[in-house]
Amino acid sequence: MNSNVTLKDFMTPVWGLIVLGLIIGGGVGLYEMFGSHILATTQVVVFTTPLVVYIWLALASTGISLLLAYGLLAGNGLIQRYTRYLLVLDIAVLLGGFAALATELGSLLNMIYILLSPNPLSPIWWMGTFYSIKLTLLFVKLALDLMGKHGPLDRPLAWATMVVAAGAAMTIGAVFGTMIARPDYQGAFASILLVTLAPASGVALIVLLRRSAELADWLIPVARQLAGLIAVMLLLQWIYEARATTVGLIGWVNPLMLVLFAAAALAGGIASRISAALVMIGSFWVLYGFIITGQLVVQGPMQGWYGAVTSFAPNLAEIAILVLGVSVAAAVYHLGRLFLLEGEGATPSHG
Amino acid sequence: MGYGMVIDQQLCVGCAACTIACKAENNTPVGFNWCDKITSTQGTFPNVRYEYISTMCNHCENAPCVLACPTQAMYKDKQTGLTLHNPNKCIGCKACMVNCPYGVIKFNWDTPHPDWREANRLAEGVFSPREMVAEVGGDGSPTSNPERDSTYPSLRQRGTVEKCTFCDHRLAQNLEPACVEACPSGARQFGDIDDPNSAVSRLVKLHGGQGLRAELGTKPRVIYIRDYRPTRRVAPARPENKG
């Protein structure tokens, strides 16, 4: 633990932005939760930007977890050297996602019933359970790392992290893929896409932040391949959507999404941070397009209120929730960097 | 035993008495209805057909909302077969809303009846909305029904969903749902649809019919029989009792 942190360490432009983001995003979030409804949701489009932000950040966190687990299980010394940094980043991003999710849930205090009255048939229950277990595992690993305790628990924890992280991403997909009345959602593709987006966005985030040039440079080929894979998956989905005659299917893939990921795959070598940023933007866009489009076909009598197909655009309050999620992630990350990662370079954890 | 409803499209006149009766009975706010309608127009002028389909929660046997709910706030009542909601367990995730193929579950983004919390008087000497509610002892609105509170809150919580309960509070007193009682043409029939000898079961046997979006496999308990034909000789909605 770094005990040399002073107030001066917080007097930086980055912290200024973080605090501003927390004030704006936090203010809007708290008003939505305890004041009055100001998000752009309706009775027919209920999953909007807050949920997109949560899934975007949660998937990035999942990707980092998968990388961490792989590093230990495959004996990759480079990844293992940056275990503490990756743990801090992983926890920060996941907490940012949870902050966004909190503004989306209507009755946060009733979350206790996830434990007291579980429904194992519900994909949302599994998603919440997996991510809670994942966060717990991350804190346990971080605590062990800070105490310098490395031994027989490391491999079981890594396996548990890998299984839980992959399960978490797939069950987010299942939340949508199991809906029988939403053709744009239905099927296993959602789970497959999200479990692929997870390492893509997680690796992209590490490359983008570039705290360790050594680690980032090693990950660039991985990031490019994953971006290329996402582009291929989106191309397939686009072709299937174009051919589909399913009643009620709108189709959510925009060809520009393909271009974005293809550009990220091609540009990765010469402009790795731009490539990584394209992946992060692309993954947000994919999630936004997927989640919103699936709700645009209005069901039943609500067509009398909203029309057969409705439209949606986020308002400033929803954008503020995006700011909240990113600000919370940034705040936790930078606090961890100051207190737990000594010096400006990445600190070797063990090796 | 499992409650179900049969709606005879030959007899339904599209008056929306069911919608209004439900609204009064269950204190639903401005902005949505538990009992609503689909208006379906088919054909090309001059051969145009218009159909009014009264809709509410179908209390499906394979309810997607129950499967999706992470806390079992949405659940099947084993005794009555109804799909009911416990707002005390509801986390407001809205998974039930997006999973429902019928668009009949609504969410309270704010505490219902915000207009009735207004404290300003329109003019001197008249009640403000808030004073009116307090004066009559209402719950959220001055027209709230205290009997609704016996099984489900008359004023629902902010941040939770709500939907038709087949007036379970009335069923507990051997009364029919408000929409059934209000229907002027007898288009709505209610009873134990699991009992093959019940009136509703005999109607389905006589006329056939099916629920909405039956191809999805939800097994809805609201069955629509016949369709409107002005030239059809009107047959009694209720089969004659034979002993």
Contacts (Cβ under 8 Å, ≥6 apart) of A247? A183
For residue B120, what is the DSSP state? -
Angle between helices A49-73 and A272-293 (to 10 degrees): 130
Query: What single-letter amino acid sits at B238?
Result: R
Query: What single-letter amino acid sits at A328?
Result: V
Question: Mutate which of A104, A297, A299 to test chain B, going by most B C-beta atoms within 10 A?
Answer: A299
Which of helix, strand or coil describes residue B138? coil
Kindly report, residue by residue over A129-145, the tens digit of the pLDDT.
999 999 999 999 999 99
For residue B115, what is the DSSP state? G
Chain B residues in contact with A98 (beta carbon < 8 A): none
Chains A and B: how many Cβ contacts under 8 Å?
134
Place of tokens 């990759």: A76
Tell me the CA end-to-end span of chain A in Å, nearest whole number. 19
Q: What pLDDT does residue A153 have? A: 85
As a whole number of angstroms, the distance between CA A186 and CA B148 comes to: 37
Q: Structure tokens of A78?
A: 């480079």
Kindly report, residue by residue over A280-291, the tens digit of the pLDDT.
999 999 999 999
Q: Where are the alpha helices (DSSP H) in B100-221?
A: 129-136, 168-171, 178-182, 199-207
Q: What pLDDT does residue B240 have? A: 53
Chain A residues in contact with B212 (beta carbon < 8 A): 300
Q: Structure tokens of A327?
A: 């600000």
CB B155 within 8 A of CB B144: yes
The CB density around residue B14, as the number of other CB atoms within 10 Å, is: 15
Q: Any bridge partners for residue A255, and if so which?
A: none
CB A213 within 8 A of CB A77: no
Contact A299/B at CB under 8 A: yes
pLDDT tens for chain B, 243 residues long, are: 999 999 999 999 999 999 999 999 999 999 999 999 999 888 999 998 888 999 999 999 999 999 999 999 999 999 999 999 999 999 999 999 999 999 999 999 999 999 999 999 999 999 999 999 999 999 999 999 999 999 999 999 999 999 999 999 999 999 999 999 999 999 999 999 999 999 999 999 999 999 999 999 999 999 999 988 777 666 555 555 443
Contact A175/B at CB under 8 A: yes
Q: What pLDDT does residue B237 have? A: 55
pLDDT tens for chain A, 351 residues long, are: 777 888 888 999 999 999 999 999 999 999 999 999 999 999 999 999 999 999 999 999 999 999 999 999 999 999 999 999 999 999 999 999 999 999 999 999 999 999 999 999 999 999 999 999 999 999 999 999 999 888 888 899 999 999 999 999 999 999 999 999 999 999 999 999 999 999 999 999 999 998 888 999 999 999 999 999 999 999 999 999 999 888 889 999 999 999 999 999 998 767 899 999 999 999 999 999 999 999 999 999 999 999 999 999 999 999 999 999 999 999 999 999 999 986 544 444 433
As a whole number of angstroms, the distance between CA A20 and CA A64 comes to: 27
Q: What pLDDT does residue A49 have? A: 97
ipTM for the whole complex: 0.91
As a whole number of angstroms, the distance between CA A147 and CA A145 comes to: 5
Closest CA to A280 of A253, A261, A293: A261
Closest CA to A88 of A211, A6, A185, A196: A211
Kindly compute the dihedral angle of the four CA atoms of residues B95, B100, B105, B107, in this order, to the nearest 10 degrees. Answer: 30
The answer for A 117-156 residues in CB contact with B (under 8 A) is: 117-119, 121-125, 128
Q: What pLDDT does residue B144 have? A: 93
Question: Mutate which of B54, B90, B109 to test chain A, going by most A C-beta atoms within 10 A?
Answer: B109
As a whole number of angstroms, the distance between CA B137 and CA A240 comes to: 58
Q: What pLDDT does residue B243 have? A: 36
For residue A256, what is the DSSP state? H
Q: What pLDDT does residue B172 have? A: 96
Closest CA to A229 of A200, A260, A257: A200
Q: Where are the alpha helices (DSSP H) in chain A?
A: 13-30, 49-73, 77-81, 83-104, 113-116, 123-146, 154-177, 189-209, 213-243, 255-267, 272-293, 303-306, 316-340
Tell me the CATH number for domain A7-340.
Answer: 1.20.1630.10
CB nearest B72 (choices: A119, A182, A303) = A119
CB burial of B108-118 (b: ≥16 within 10 Å; e: otherwise) equals bbeebbbebee
Angle between helices A272-293 and A255-267 (to 10 degrees): 160
- A301 with B70: Cβ contact below 8 A: no
The CB density around residue B95, as the number of other CB atoms within 10 Å, is: 26
DSSP annotation string for A143-204: HHHHTT--STTHHHHHHHHHHHHHHHHHHHHHHHHT-TT-TTT-STHHHHHHHHHHHHHHHH
| Domain map (residue ranges) of chain A | 7-340
